[in-house]
């Protein structure tokens, strides 16, 4: 009598992904690009807990001017985008070299912001942990309200006869 032998065949498949395909699927946080926010934006600005007031922000390259009423502030702005997030640094004042002396001027204050730009709409908001709270937006609050879902209503009951 002959013994019956059974064989199991195992098929294995391996998928190899080229490095260029991986980077196309995920964001590479080491890749950054300078973002040009140049333009003139009219909207509202708010500092700290103050009420929002009308303002015009003009950005040309790495320079900005913000006009609020009769006041005007200018300085430098830099925007870098990585993984869909645009980080902005704004510094008021002239960046001319400081002349050494007994009473040097105070250091310029920089503010860290996040930019969201869509078409001609721009919103700048302080990042978490930023001690100076600043917000600018060209339209409304910069946030769209969520649509509320209505609870499903039961069908009307027919009148009883």
Q: How far apart are CA 115 and CA 91, in angstroms?
A: 15
Summarised one tens digit per residue, pLDDT across range 79-109 is 999 998 999 999 988 766 677 778 877 777 8
Q: pLDDT: is 114 or 156 the higher one?
A: 114
Q: How far apart are CA 68 and CA 47, in angstroms?
A: 12
Q: 78: helix, coil or strand?
A: strand
How far does the chain reach from its first CA to its final CA, in angstroms? 86
**pLDDT (0 to 100) of residue 20:** 45
Q: How far apart are CA 55 and CA 23, in angstroms?
A: 40
Place of tokens 């009951």: 157
Task: Tell me the domains of the chain and their CATH numbers.
Answer: 31-93+108-137 (2.40.128)
147 CB-near residues (< 8 Å, 6+ apart): none
The rounded mean pLDDT for the chain is: 78
Whether the pTM exceeds 0.75: the reply is no
């Amino acid at each position: 009598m002959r013994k019956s032998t059974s064989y199991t065949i195992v098929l294995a498949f391996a998928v190899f992904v080229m490095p260029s395909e991986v980077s196309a699927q995920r964001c590479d946080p080491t890749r950054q690009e300078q973002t040009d926010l140049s333009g003139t934006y009219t909207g509202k600005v708010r500092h700290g807990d103050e009420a929002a007031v009308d303002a015009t922000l003009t950005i040309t390259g790495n320079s900005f001017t913000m006009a609020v009423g009769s006041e005007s502030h200018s300085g430098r702005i830099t925007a870098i985008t990585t993984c869909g997030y645009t980080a902005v640094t704004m510094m008021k004042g002239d960046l001319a070299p400081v002349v050494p002396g007994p009473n040097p001027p105070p250091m310029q204050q920089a503010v860290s912001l996040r930019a969201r730009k869509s078409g001609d709409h721009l919103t700048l908001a302080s990042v978490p942990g930023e001690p100076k709270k600043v917000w600018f937006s060209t339209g409304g609050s910069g946030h769209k309200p969520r649509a509320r879902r209505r609870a499903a209503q039961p069908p009307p009951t027919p009148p009883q006869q």
